[in-house]
Structure 1
Amino acid sequence: MSKVKYFYDPDTLSYRKIEPKKSRKYRNVALFLAGSALFGFFGLAILLNTSILNTPQELSLQREVKNYELQFELLNKKMEQMEQVLANIEDRDNNIYRVYFEANPIPDEQRRAGFGGVNRYKSLEGFNNSDMIIATTKRLDIIQKEMVIQSKSLDEIAKLAARKEKLLAAIPAIQPIPNQDLKRMASGFGWRSDPFTKARKMHWGMDFSAPKGTPIHATGDGVVTRADNRSSGYGKHVRIDHGFGYMSLYGHMSAYNVKPGQKVKRGDLIGFVGNTGRSEGPHCHYEVWKDGERINPMNFYYGSLTAEEYEDMLKYASQENQSLD
């Protein structure tokens, strides 16, 4: 209820009611409304800049930010797992695969090298979570680079493995005549008595005594380079180029089963035991060459002999007896 105001009129000696002017009433209403609006504006501004009151859009954005932060945490955990797996592969690569295939290990400095030059992450700066985003992006870039290096390394290992497989197939690794077809291992590599002059002479191969016509087999994969009797002392003989610097020779044959240029596999029949050339009896004179030098064939029988058989052959081969050629 509004208050009624009076004033004392000395002329009439009485109190008279004060009648407010309409303009003043309107002014008061306007001032009240303006003050209310101003107060409401400042109050709303304060509320909007505090966490007390959020708009639906802000609440939605906050939920999205929290979801992104959760996704980043999960992503970092996955990256930790990837780094562990990659580190395990790198360790096996350096300490097993590359050692086995005689390749130099990849230094950690090369695997872990950073990215120099311009700032690659400048576009990610200036945000509330820039540090987290930049750190995660850097980890991803490093993992990607390490995977590229590891992928190239495995490609190299695959090539080395293929080459190693060819090398193992090419190396002369079996006897040219199996034990069941042998009479005896007549003479080994080293100084022996010459059957014709009786003088002490270097014997550059091994003599396998067997009946005439006994099959002779290629001791490794390769290509036949010669099958003739045009080399002094060897009679009818075959030479096989195995690649990787290896060559094998089979002398004193009675007949050939191959011709020059023919590819052969380990174990293929290449000819037959004979007594041609400078020979005292039917046998196969067998030599192994590496990079143009004749070496002891005893070092290459891992593909066909047991430990006991190898020991027996080593004993006979080391005896300084008389050779058959």
Structure 2
Amino acid sequence: MSKVKYYYDPDTLSYRKIEARKSRKYRNIGLFLLGSFLFGLLGLTVLLNTNFINTPKELSLQRELRNYDLQFELLDKKMEQVEQVLTNIEDRDNNIYRIYFEANPIPDEQRRAGFGGINRYKSLEGFNNSEMIIASTKRMDIIQKQMVIQSKSLDEITKLAEEKEKLLAAIPAIQPINNEDLRRMASGYGWRSDPFTKARKMHWGMDFSSPKGTPIYATGDGKVTRADSNSSGYGNHIRIDHGFGYVSLYAHMSKYNVTAGKTVKRGDLIGFVGSTGRSEAPHLHYEVFKDDQRINPINFYYGSLTAEEFANMLKTASQENQSLD
């Protein structure tokens, strides 16, 4: 029941009922609604700026942040794995590949050096997690630089390996006459008795005694530079330039199977045993040059002889006997 209010009228000396005006009533209602709205707005603002209530958008952002944290942890572990693999490759590169191919190791300071000069990470500053982002970016940049350096190093190793392969193919590494065609290893490299003057003189090659017409094979890849009889004492002879400073010579041949300018492979038939030139009997006189200096051919037969065969040849070649030329 609404409360009735009265006021005292001195003119009539009586109490009169207060009649409420409609305008005032509406004003009061309006003020109440406005106050309620303002109070509600203030309360909502306070709640939105505290942790008591999160909007759907804030919940979504929180989920994204947690997901970013998880992705960062995974990225960090992957970077650790990449660094471990790179370290292993770099270790093998420095201590196996580059040593084998006689190349200088790459210093760690060069592989893991940072980037000087301008601030490359200025655009990443000013965020809540700037330090973490900058540190991770620097780490990725260093990994990328390591990979570039390692890639270039492997390119260099590949080139060195190709050269090494050519060198191994070029070195005169087999016996020029097959063992089954060989009567005996008549004379080795060193001081020997001359078959004609009987004087002691230096014998610059090895003599392989074999029947006339026995096949003679190239001992390494190369190019035939001479196939003639225009060198004193050698008779019909062939010279092969193997590159890398190596040259092999085959003397006293009965006939040729190649001509000057021809490219040959190790094991190719190049001619036949004879006794031309200054020769006492059918045999092959074989010499090896390195940088224009004669060297002992016996050091290069690892490609065709067993350990036992090599030991027997070494024993025979070391005997100071009479040569056949």
Shorter-normalised TM range:
over 0.9
Output the CA distance in 2 between the equivalents of 1:58 and 1:121.
29
**2:186 aligns to what?**
186
Equivalent residue, structure 1, for 2:273: 273
Distance 1:126 1:292 in 2: 70
Question: Is it true that 1:130 corresponds to 2:99 in the alignment?
Answer: no
1:32 counterpart letter in structure 2: F
1:239: how far off?
0.2
Secondary structure of the structure 2 residue equivalent to 1:248: strand
SS of the residue corresponding to residue 252 of structure 2 reads strand
Name the SS for the 1:54 alignment partner: coil
- C-alpha distance in structure 1 between counterparts of 2:248 and 2:19, whole Å: 136
Determine the C-alpha separation between the residues in 2 that align with 1:179 and 1:228. Answer: 26
Range with greater deviation from structure 2 (279-288 or 93-102):
93-102
Q: For the residues of structure 1 that align with 2:178 and 2:202, how far apart are their CA atoms?
A: 25
Rounded Cα–Cα distance in structure 2 between residues aligned with 1:190 and 1:17: 151
Q: Identify the residue that residue 109 of structure 1 maps to in structure 2.
A: 109
1:30 Cα deviation after fit: 3.8
Structure 1, residues 121-153: CA drift from partner, whole Å, max 9, x if none?
A: 222222223233222222222221111111111
**1:58-73 paired onto structure 2 within 5 Å:** 58-73=58-73
In the alignment, what sits opposite 2:172? 172
TM-fit CA distance, 1:240? 0.2
SS at structure 2 position matched to 1:46: helix
> What one-letter code is carried by the residue in structure 1 that aligns with 2:254?
S
Normalising by structure 1, we get a TM-score of 0.93
Distance in 2, matches of 1:301 and 1:316, equals 15
* Distance in 2 of aligned mates of 1:4 and 1:198: 160
> How far has the Cα of 1:23 moved from its partner?
5.4
Tell me the number of residue pairs that the alignment of Structure 1 and Structure 2 aligns: 325
Q: For structure 1, which segment, 47-56 or 309-318, has the greater mean C-alpha deviation from structure 2 after superposition?
A: 47-56
Determine the structure 1 residue equivalent to 2:42.
Answer: 42
| Cross-structure match for 2:264 | 264
Give the counterpart letter for 1:278 in structure 2: R
1:79 aligns with 2:79: yes
- Give the letter aligned to residue 29 of structure 1: I
Instruction: Give CA deviations for 1:83-122 in whole Å, capped at 9, x if unaligned.
Output: 2222211111111111221111111111101111112122
Give unmatched runs, 5+ long, in structure 1: none
Unmatched segments (≥5 aa) in structure 2: none
- 1:224: which partner in 2? 224
**1:178-204 deviation line (CA, Å, top 9, x unaligned):** 121111111111111222222221111
Which letter maps to 2:250?
Y
- Letter aligned with residue 98 of structure 2: R
Provide the alpha-carbon RMSD of the alignment: 1.9
The equivalent of 1:308 in structure 2 is: 308
Q: Which moved more, 1:270-279 or 1:28-37?
A: 28-37
Counterpart CA distance in 2 for 1:260 and 1:129 is 75
Q: State the TM-score, normalizing by the size of structure 2.
A: 0.93
Question: 2-side partners of 1:262 and 1:10: how far apart?
Answer: 147
Question: What is the percentage of aligned positions where both structures have the same residue?
Answer: 82
Shift of 1:7: 4.7
